[in-house]
């Protein structure tokens, strides 16, 4: 049995207190605790405290430390349950304390995977070019349950996708570069699939955005691709087979038959 001889607030953390004890050999430092734990157990100077009570208070204090770490982590932004759990594990908190703190935070409505998924979807939808399938994948990686993810994705409707896709495509439609207009549109569609947008939404959006074909740009792109093919096939083929290989390759790249034949004819007359 020991007697509490002094309780003093710590200089670096005004929410923590140092407890000094006398076990019969004079006053010495015993342990430190959070203010809430001090109040909960009603510790005061002159009080007798045994080893079991000290262990109980210390265990409560460790849980309180875990809680404060969690609150600090959540103060920056919302987190999924798994994100918080992994953070506390990295901080080497005990599993029993982590589990208890997570349940407490759920009760306090400070930790909610449904609310997290909804906020995550709304934020990403408004700030990044990512479709619902991509966001679903990201939420899964954060450990969010399937039902919570589906609830969150209700905030990213098919109509929302169409609006976002149309705005993005409208900005891209005049950047054909060295591809045929058809190949360029295919590349854009593939990029949007990778970004996680629904294929049907992509198709509908592509149909509403007018990609005006500039004949001069299309011809320049055809010539550029055709010259590359000439260098590729001239060492392997000749005559009809050589020209046929070029025809087939240019057709796969989305160029028109008329343009291809014009290029072949000019190549033949060189």
Q: Per residue in 179-191, pLDDT tens?
A: 788 888 888 999 9
Q: All domains of the chain, ordered by start, with CATH?
A: 2-107 (1.10.10.10), 113-156 (1.10.10.10), 160-268 (no CATH)
> Does 173 score more than 80 pLDDT?
no
- What is the pLDDT, as a whole number, of residue 193? 96
Q: What are the structure tokens assigned to 100, written together?
A: 């208890």
For residue 155, give the 3-state DSSP assignment: coil
Does 268 or 200 have the greater pLDDT score?
200
Confidence band of 59 (pLDDT split at 50, 70, 90): very high
For residue 212, pLDDT over 90 is answered with no
Of residues 106 and 253, more confidence is placed in 106
The pTM (predicted TM-score) of the whole model is 0.74
Of the candidate ranges 74-78, 215-219, 260-264, the one whose mean pLDDT is the lowest:
215-219
Tell me which of 88 and 266 has the higher pLDDT: 88
In whole numbers, what is the pLDDT of the chain averaged over residues? 90
Cβ 70 vs Cβ 84: under 8 Å? yes
What is the arithmetic mean of pLDDT over 157-170? Answer: 94
The CA-based dihedral angle spanning residues 46, 50, 54, 60, taken in that order and rounded to the nearest 10 degrees: -100
Q: Per DSSP, which regions of the chain are E strands?
A: 2-9, 16-22, 27-34, 48-49
Nearest alpha carbon to residue 43 among 68, 26, 60:
60
Residue 223 in this model has a pLDDT that exceeds 70:
yes
> What pLDDT sits at residue 83?
97
């Amino acid at each position: 049995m020991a007697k509490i001889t002094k309780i003093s607030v710590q200089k670096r953390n005004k929410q923590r207190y140092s407890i000094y004890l006398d076990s019969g050999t004079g006053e010495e430092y015993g342990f430190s605790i959070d203010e809430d734990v001090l109040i909960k157990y009603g510790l005061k100077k002159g009080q007798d405290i045994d080893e079991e009570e000290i262990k109980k208070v210390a265990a409560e204090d460790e849980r309180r430390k875990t809680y404060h770490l969690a609150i600090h982590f959540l103060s920056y932004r919302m987190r999924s349950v798994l994100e918080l759990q992994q953070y506390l594990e990295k901080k080497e908190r005990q599993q029993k304390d982590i589990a208890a703190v997570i349940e407490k935070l759920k009760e306090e409505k400070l930790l909610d995977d449904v609310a997290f998924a909804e906020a995550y979807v709304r934020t990403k939808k408004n700030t990044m070019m990512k479709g619902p399938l991509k966001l679903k994948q990201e939420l899964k990686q954060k450990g969010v349950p399937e039902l919570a993810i589906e609830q969150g994705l209700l905030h990213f409707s098919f109509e929302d996708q169409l609006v976002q896709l149309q705005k993005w495509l409208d900005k891209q439609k005049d950047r054909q570069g060295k591809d045929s207009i058809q190949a360029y549109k295919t590349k854009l569609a593939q990029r949007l699939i990778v970004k996680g947008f629904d294929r049907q939404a992509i198709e509908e959006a592509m149909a509403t955005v007018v990609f005006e074909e500039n004949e001069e740009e299309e011809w320049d792109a055809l010539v550029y691709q055709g010259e590359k093919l000439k260098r590729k096939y001239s060492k392997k083929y000749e005559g009809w087979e050589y020209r046929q290989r070029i025809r087939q390759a240019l057709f796969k790249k989305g160029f028109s038959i008329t343009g291809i034949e014009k290029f072949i004819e000019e190549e033949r007359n060189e």
